[in-house]
C-alpha cells in the first residue's frame, strides 16, 4: 500500500472520530434550541435525525461542514433565504423544502429546511450542490 492510500485511510478514521464527538455535542446543545433568520418568519428546529443527516452528508469541505454544525445558530441566522422548493424525494410528511444559502470554507453551501405538513420547520441537511437551489 502506498503512502497516499495510508494517509487517506487515516484521514477517514480521524473524520469519523471527529464526527462522533460533534454528533454528541450537537445533540446535547442544539436539540432544544430554536433557530431564526430575519428573512424567514418561522421558528426552525433541528432533530437528532437532522444532526445525523448533516454529519453524514457528503461535502467538498467535509470537516468544515461538520464543525459548522456546532455554530448552527450563527450560521443559520446569517444565511440568505432563497425561497421554497419542492421536496425532490416526495416524502409524505414534507409539504416543501426551504433553501438558505451560506458560506463554508469560502464556498457556497445550502441549508435545507423541511416544512412539515403539520406546520413544523426542521433543518434537514446541508448541501454543496447547487441542484437544491430553487429555480
pLDDT at 1 over 60: no
Mean of pLDDT values over 97-103: 97
**Greater confidence, 37 or 134?**
37
| Predicted TM-score (pTM) of this structure | 0.91
The chain-wide mean pLDDT, for the chain, equals: 92
Number of domains in the chain: 1
Bridge pairing between strands 80-85 and 94-104: antiparallel
Contacts of 127 (CB under 8 A, 6+ apart): 57, 59, 109, 110, 112
Confidence of residue 105 (pLDDT cuts 50, 70, 90): very high
Confidence of residue 135 (pLDDT cuts 50, 70, 90): confident
Amino acid at each position: 500500500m502506498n503512502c497516499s492510500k495510508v494517509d487517506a485511510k487515516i484521514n477517514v478514521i480521524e473524520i469519523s472520530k471527529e464526527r462522533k464527538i460533534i454528533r454528541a455535542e450537537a445533540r446535547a446543545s442544539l436539540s432544544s434550541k430554536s433557530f431564526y433568520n430575519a428573512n424567514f418568519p418561522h421558528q426552525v428546529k433541528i432533530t437528532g435525525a437532522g444532526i445525523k443527516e448533516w454529519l453524514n452528508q457528503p461535502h467538498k469541505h467535509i470537516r468544515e461542514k461538520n464543525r459548522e454544525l456546532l455554530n448552527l445558530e450563527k450560521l443559520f441566522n446569517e444565511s440568505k433565504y432563497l425561497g421554497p422548493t419542492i421536496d425532490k424525494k416526495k416524502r409524505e410528511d414534507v409539504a416543501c423544502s426551504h433553501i438558505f444559502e451560506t458560506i463554508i470554507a469560502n464556498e457556497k453551501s445550502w441549508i435545507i429546511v423541511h416544512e412539515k405538513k403539520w406546520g413544523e420547520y426542521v433543518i434537514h441537511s446541508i448541501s454543496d450542490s447547487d441542484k437544491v437551489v430553487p429555480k
